[in-house]
Structure 1
């Protein structure tokens, strides 16, 4: 499958920054089936682990999904969304993307009750293409009052 010069650079950089090899390791642990995708991406389909709960997620240039190859081939918008995540690994020099993504997910969950709606990484990858629905913001006052009102031990 054809790949542009920049996509080839991203493939090399995401290999050297260890994000794609980390994806390969996760795919092996999850007993996924590997195949080549478009634009320098690789797929790990039929991923068996329950974590993360997402239908697809990306590590470097590797898109992992619990679904089969036909599922991902029939969703070009989802592939574009995941490819945007692969560029995020490129620009953030690989694995530092993971804790930053988790911070973004925590912020989003705090503000909306959803880990994607206000996560800057998901927003930059296009929420709709990732099959996410944008949830409304909760006022911080409401969030913090809800945290304070919980009984101890829960």
Structure 2
């Protein structure tokens, strides 16, 4: 966002900003940025870009909390599309009314690991934000039966001879 554009945000961006302010997710994002010693600057469409995040969690090239998009590096050095991917996560925070996003994301991540062995490939939030734009890859879904049996018994199913 260039200086003086705050008053010219599109209606939907003003709604997202207000919602994420009211549900306290942007305040949480600012606290996370401060805790991670990131510098925060205004970004496009009313987003806040936090750069230089120094904590080892979460394990991601970038992540979003409310309207705060955080990265260990610099936003101008990320691959094209990542900013848009993270912006979609800011909308997910809005639609989940803030903090309920965290357990919902955790469930979606567990489901993805169960179905694909990967935390993002079948995660509804990552898919909704644009899986490939976020740097993730499409993976085939595994049959659920053998995965559940492995979880329950602790034994892998025997390999099929091909």
Shared fold, TM over 0.5: yes
Alpha-carbon deviations, 1:29-52, whole Å to 9, x = none? Answer: 111111111111111111001111
Select which of 78, 91, 95 maps to 1:87: 91
State whether structure 2 residue 29 is matched by structure 1 residue 27: no
Instruction: Please list every run of 5 or more consecutive structure 2 residues that lacks an aligned counterpart in the other structure.
Output: 156-162
State whether structure 2 residue 72 is matched by structure 1 residue 58: no
Larger CA deviation: 1-10 vs 122-131:
1-10
Q: Structure 1: which 4+ aligned runs deviate by more than 2 Å?
A: none
TM-score (norm 2): 0.86
Q: CA deviation at 1:146?
A: 2.1
Give the equivalent residue in structure 2 for 1:126. 130
Instruction: Please list every run of 5 or more consecutive structure 1 residues that lacks an aligned counterpart in the other structure.
Output: none
Count of residue correspondences = 149
Q: Residues 2-151 of structure 1: matches in 2 within 5 Å? A: 2=5, 3-72=9-78, 75-147=79-151, 148-150=153-155
Tell me how far apart the structure 1 counterparts of residues 35 and 21 of structure 2 sit (CA, whole Å).
Answer: 18
Tell me how far apart the structure 2 counterparts of residues 98 and 64 of structure 1 sit (CA, whole Å).
Answer: 16
RMSD: 1.5
Tell me how far apart the structure 2 counterparts of residues 9 and 43 of structure 1 sit (CA, whole Å).
Answer: 18
8 Å contact from structure 2 (residues 75, 83) kept in 1: no
Larger CA Rg, structure 1 vs 2: 2
